[in-house]
Structure 1
C-alpha cells in the first residue's frame, strides 16, 4: 500500500463506506420501490441496506479501531468498549436484516436457505456471533487468564478479517442474485445492462473495494497498535481491580 498516514486513509475509507450505504439505499428507494414493514418486496429492501451498513461498513469500522493512533497510548479499556460496541451494533443491524428477508420470504411463500448466497450469508452471521461472544468472554470478562487472552488474540484477529471478506462476498453475491431475479420478464434483461444493472454492479465493486482496503489496513505492520504489557491492556472490563 502507499506510504500515507492512517488518518487521511481512514477519512477516505469512511467516505467510501458512507457512499456504499448511500448507494444501496438509493438503489432500493429508486429502483426497488422504497421501504415498508408489510412483508412485501419493500420489506425485503431493508435486507441489503442493513446488511451493507452492519455486516460490512460498521463491522469494518470496528475492525479498524485499534489502528487509530489515539489507541496506542493511555488506557486501552475505552477502545475495547468502542470496538465491542461497534461490533455489537453491526450484529444488531445484521439480525434485523435477516429478519427482513425471512419475513419477506415467509409472507410470499418463497423457500428459505436454498441459494449459495443464503448459505454463505447465514454462515457468516453465525461465525460473526461466535466471534463476538468469544471476544467478549475472553477480553472483557474477568474469568479469562492473561495467557488465554494472549493465545486467543491472533485467532480473533484472523477471524475478524475472514468474517469481513465473507461479508463482502455475501453482499456482492446477494446484489447479483437480486439483479438476476428482478431484471427478467417484464423488464429490461440484466444482460442488456439497463441503468439499474450498471448502478448495482458499481455498488458491488465499491463494497469489494471497501473490504479489500480494510483488510489491507489490518495487515499493514506500521499501522498496528504496539504490543503493551501494561495492566490496562491486560485488564478485563468487569474486574474487581480498578
Structure 2
C-alpha cells in the first residue's frame, strides 16, 4: 500500500492545481501549485516523490542471497587473470625490468590486465557490493578505483612505448594498439566526466539525470573494449612468440588461451551482476525515499528528476 502524505499549509495559501506525473512502476510524482493569496501568481511548486515497494522483502532477500557468490566469482576470475599474466610473462619471457628490453615490455600486459580489467571491473561493482554504505562514500571509492586503474594503465602504456623506442619497433601500427589507445582515451574522458557530474557540487540535477545512462552504458562498453583489446594482445603475443609451434598445443599457447577464456568469463559475470535488476543498490531513506524540492514552475512545466 502506498504511504500517505499529509501537508498542512497556512490559510493564506490556496491550492491552485495539482499535476500527477508517472515516474516508474514504484513511484509517483505530485506537483502542487500554490497561490500566495488571491492576487498572487501561482509560481511556486512543491515536488514530492513517494516510493512504494512492488516486490516483497522475501523476494528481494532471496535474490540477494546469490550476490556474494557471483561477486566472489568475479574476484577469483580477476585474480586468476592477473596471476596467469604474471606467470606467463615471468616464466616464459624472462621476468620484469625497466631497461627498455623485453623485460620492460612484460610490464605492459601485467599492468593492463590489472588496471583496465580487474580494477576497472571492481570499480563497476562497488554499487552492487556496498549496498548499505553512504552513497557519497561509494562514489568516492568508485572514483578511487578508477584512478588506480588509470595510473597502473599509464605505467603499462609507457612501458610498451619505451620498449618499442629502445628496440626501434614502430608504434601504433596494429589493431591491438589502436583499440587499446581508443579504450584508454575513452576511459580518461569517462573518469573526468564522472568526477564533474557526480562528485563535484554545483552540477544541475537535470544534467546528472541526463548523463547517468550514458555513464553506465559506456562504463560497460569500455570494459568490453578492454577485454577485446586484451584478447587481441594475447593472440598477437602468441603469434610473435610461438608461431611455429602454436598449433602443436605447447604449454605457453595453452596458458595464453586459458587466460583469454578467463577474461571472457570475468567480463560476462561482471555484466550479469550489473544488469540484473534485483542486484541494484536500493534507494536509502535519507537519499530517495522522500525527496522534496521547491522549484519555480513555468506554464506547462514539470519538475526535473531528483
Assess same fold via TM > 0.5. Answer: yes
Moved beyond 6 Å, runs of 4+: none
Q: Is 1:115 equivalent to 2:174 in the alignment?
A: yes
Q: Is 1:204 equivalent to 2:204 in the alignment?
A: no
Residue of structure 2 in register with 1:128 after alignment: 187
Give the distance between the partners of 1:232 and 1:143, measured in 2 at CA. 19
Q: Is 1:59 equivalent to 2:120 in the alignment?
A: yes
Cα offset for 1:228?
5.6
- The residue correspondences of 1:21-100 to structure 2 (distance < 5 A) are 21-68=82-129, 70-71=130-131, 73=132, 75-100=134-159
Give the distance between the partners of 1:10 and 1:57, measured in 2 at CA. 12
Q: Is 1:164 equivalent to 2:223 in the alignment?
A: yes
> 1:64 aligns to what SS in structure 2?
helix
Give the distance between the partners of 1:126 and 1:141, measured in 2 at CA. 22
Cα offset for 1:145?
1.0
Cα offset for 1:226?
2.5
Asked whether the 8 Å contact 1:164–1:211 carries over to 2, the reply is yes
Asked whether the 8 Å contact 1:76–1:232 carries over to 2, the reply is no
Number of matched residues? Answer: 227
Q: Is 1:155 equivalent to 2:214 in the alignment?
A: yes
Asked whether the 8 Å contact 1:54–1:89 carries over to 2, the reply is yes
Asked whether the 8 Å contact 1:175–1:200 carries over to 2, the reply is yes
After superposition, give the CA deviation of every residue in 1:57-109 in whole Å (9 maximum; x if it has no partner). 000000000012x42x4521111110110011011111111001000100000
Which of the two has higher C-alpha Rg?
2
Residue of structure 2 in register with 1:225 after alignment: 281
Give the distance between the partners of 1:24 and 1:74, measured in 2 at CA. 34
> 1:42 aligns to what SS in structure 2?
helix
Give the distance between the partners of 1:227 and 1:95, measured in 2 at CA. 36
Give the distance between the partners of 2:88 and 2:155, measured in 1 at CA. 19
Please provide the CA RMSD for this pair.
1.8
Task: Point out where structure 1 has 5 or more consecutive residues left out of the alignment.
Answer: 235-242
Cα offset for 1:18?
0.8
Give the distance between the partners of 2:185 and 2:285, measured in 1 at CA. 32
Structure with the higher helix share, 1 or 2: 1
Asked whether the 8 Å contact 1:77–1:232 carries over to 2, the reply is no
